[in-house]
Each structure stands twice: as structure tokens, then as C-alpha cells.
Structure 1
Amino acid sequence: MNIKIKIQQLWDYLKVQDEELLIVRSFNATKNSDEYILARKTGNELEITTTDTMPEIKPNMAFQMIQQIGADGRHKIPSVEQIKRDEMLDY
């Protein structure tokens, strides 16, 4: 599935506010290392960028961070369906 679609689904499911930053940690197989996917609203669009290091967050900046480790022990972008299944198992 397209990364932008997965990030948009997470944004919607987590009810991230327009002024917040969404940070998703994910393993990049091409680079063989973790990266951070940053999503923020600019106008009506979701702007998605990546960085190799955890971004510096200003003290007054609201954000949500989500990370999930897959069966291979690496960080992955969680699917909303998986989050829902995990929530059901936790209760």
C-alpha cells in the first residue's frame, strides 16, 4: 500500500489535529536503517517528509508519535486494521 495512504489513514484514525505533527518510525530497507516519517497539515493537504534522525520538537509543538515493531524485529508503519486488532487483544 502507498505510504501516503497509510499515513493518511493513521492521521484520520488517531484524530491528529491540524496543528499537530505525526511522527511514524519505520525501517527503510534500501538504507538498511530506521527513518522517521513526519506528517503535518499544510492547508488541506497532508505534507509528508522523512528524516534519518528523530526531529527536534519545540516545547510548544503538539505531536503524536507511533511506532510498531514487526515480526522481523524492525519498525514498520502500522496499519489501522492492525491497531484495531491489537486494541481488541489488549482488552
Structure 2
Amino acid sequence: MRSSWFALLRRRRLSLIVMACLLVLIPVGCAKLEQTERELVFRIEPGTARWFSGLPTGIEDVQLQSPDLGADESLHAWWWPAARKDAPALLYLHGSRWN
């Protein structure tokens, strides 16, 4: 019985090696892909981005201050007033990397 088990393993050695490699390499590859994606998507470039040619007409560039923020902290925002005074407001909040 024992010799048949070893014979089976010997015959399927290549399949087992390939399966073991896949079990290790697929999670490692997925983790590396996720890390690279985060670096590419959330890459911070100092200065003005090449694609930015200025604010559209009617949008104001504002800095929002709050007592909850530190002395040297503020929120940078673009304000686009609605045509109607009673129109609802839409806030689109996003971060950059881990902030």
C-alpha cells in the first residue's frame, strides 16, 4: 500500500509542483498587482497636473477653515453655486492615498 502511494506521487510530481507554485504565486501576484494599482492611481505629483488647464467658468476655488482642524490645516474645495438658491447641495469627497 505504501509503495503504491509513493508511485502515485512520483507519477504526478509535475502536477503537484505546478499546483503548489500556483497556490503560492497567485496570491503573491494579486497582492503585488493591488499594491502597484494603488501606487499608480493615487500617485501624488507636486505642482499642477499636466491635464489641468484651469477651473471651469463659475467655479470658485475656496479654502474651508474649521475649529476642529489644526492651525495649519484646511480643506481645499471647489464651489459651484447652483442657479436656484434652494437647490440641494452635492458633496463629492475623495482622498489621496491614505489621508
- What TM-score does the superposition give when structure 2 sets the normalisation length? 0.21
Between Structure 1 and Structure 2, which shows a larger proportion of helix residues?
2
Rg (Cα) greater in structure? 2
User: Which of the pair has the greater relative contact order for Cα pairs under 8 Å at 6+ separation?
Assistant: 1
